[in-house]
Amino acid sequence: MKGKIEGCVFGMAIGDGFGLPTEFLSFQEILEKWPPKGLMEPLGNPIMVSDDTQMAIAVAKALIENHRNGLQPLHLEKSLSHYFIEWLNDPENTRAPGMTCIDACEKLERGLHWLQASSLNSKGCGANMRVATVGLLGLKGYDQTTIAKVAQLQAAITHGHPTALAASELTAIAIERLIHGVGPEKILEYLTEYAEKQRTVYHTDYLQSVWDRPPFHSPEAFIEKGWDECSRVLQKVKTSLREQHAKEDPCLLTGAGWVAEESFATGLFCFLLHPDDPVQALRRAVNSSGDSDSIACLTGAFSGAYCGIEAFPVDWVERIEYQQELEEIVKFFQCTTNPLPKNKGNRNR
């Protein structure tokens, strides 16, 4: 299992760093800059990552800090806010961070509660680009319900749109299933059924009243909108896998990835095109016209969770930035000496 944990954590960062140079380029511009097939290898030593990995590390720090109390929401929201503010003020926060994240974190720093700080109408991919480690919580004894709640809360602190919440949960659940051996031939069917099952499930204990604004008349109506959009992009992934063309920009098929459900869909699509080959999956994600680093970040996490670290080039793993932080995250999830505290989020509760 250690190889899969490393694969998910390092794959996320590798994908992010690999895709960073192509993020704001069109598909044709990428081919012209790196002929004839586009960018084939991550650049630099170290391979520099973006805010995607930086914020994913912030989320992981909050998970590690709050594991002993079972990830209870009041403690967790304070930790997430703390580490998001820490990221905001980090001198290395110069990697084209998303404005929704910046705006929300600035409000948190001014002392606003996250319900007032969150951008309620934003479903940007900042919500789920950072969620990968939440999908590993099953390895620490947490059930899917807790994973779902935590995934949505970490998104909601900055992105309050229902689709941002649903897409973040779906991203985490995809990783949770892949790391436990659900194969690429079954994952789409599983996620489609999961999205339908969750369609009206609102986690009040973690999300509080984030739903309460026009035009929604109930928390169920609020979250339903998010799951319906996620179900539609899952259908796009299915259709695209049947009709895709090898040289085509994946963003033309499943979305440009600037919003959460599209980064999830296109990241998953690229993984499913090459489920046993993370290198080819990442090349497909990186050479895209949309939010390439976020798409590749998720492709790397999916590929790593399924294939393990051994499937990535050693050179890429050794060159990735934030080695120490990523290793600490891996150690936390592979450690079996600090299981879930009793009566706090156990599997049967």
Q: What is the pLDDT of residue 340?
A: 58
Q: What is the pLDDT of residue 2?
A: 82
Residue 200 lies in a domain: yes
> Quick one: DSSP state of residue 277?
-
**CB-based contacts of 247, cutoff 8 Å, min separation 6:** none
Distance CA 325, CA 48 (A): 14
Residue 342 lies in a domain: no
Distance CA 294, CA 309 (A): 19
Is there a contact between 57 and 322 (Cβ–Cβ < 8 Å)? yes
Per the structure block, which two tokens stand in for 249?
A: 């920009």
Q: Is 249 annotated as a binding residue?
A: no
Q: Is 90 annotated as a binding residue?
A: no
Burial class from Cβ neighbours inside 10 Å (0-12, 13-18, 19+) for residue 144 reads middle
Residue 52 lies in a domain: yes
The count of structural domains within the chain is: 1
Q: Quick check: helix, strand or coil at residue 172?
A: helix
Residues 324-337: b if buried by 16+ CB within 10 A, e if exposed: ebbeebbebbeeee
H-type alpha helices, 157-218: 162-179, 184-197, 204-207
The single-letter code of the amino acid at 24 is: F
Residue 345 lies in a domain: no
Sign of the C-alpha dihedral, residues 134, 135, 136, 137? positive
Domain assignment of residue 88, given as a range = 2-334
Distance CA 88, CA 73 (A): 22
Which of 24, 130, 147, 42 has its CA nearest to residue 87?
130
* Strands (E) located in the chain: none
Residue 346 lies in a domain: no
Indicate which CATH number applies to the domain containing 240.
1.10.4080.10
Residue 256 lies in a domain: yes
Sign of the C-alpha dihedral, residues 97, 98, 99, 100? negative
Say what the pTM is: 0.95
Q: Is 50 annotated as a binding residue?
A: yes
> Quick one: DSSP state of residue 214?
T
Residue 341 lies in a domain: no
Cα distances from 33 to residues 19, 37, 190, 283, in angstroms, run 14, 10, 39, 15
Distance CA 132, CA 107 (A): 25
Distance CA 303, CA 263 (A): 15
Distance CA 131, CA 122 (A): 16
Low-confidence ranges of the chain (pLDDT < 50): 343-349
Q: Is 293 annotated as a binding residue?
A: yes
Q: Is 205 annotated as a binding residue?
A: no
Q: What is the pLDDT of residue 243?
A: 81
Q: What is the pLDDT of residues 251-291, one digit of tens each?
A: 999 999 999 999 999 999 999 999 999 999 999 999 999 99
CB atoms within 10 A of CB 121: 11
Residue 339 lies in a domain: no
CB atoms within 10 A of CB 220: 13
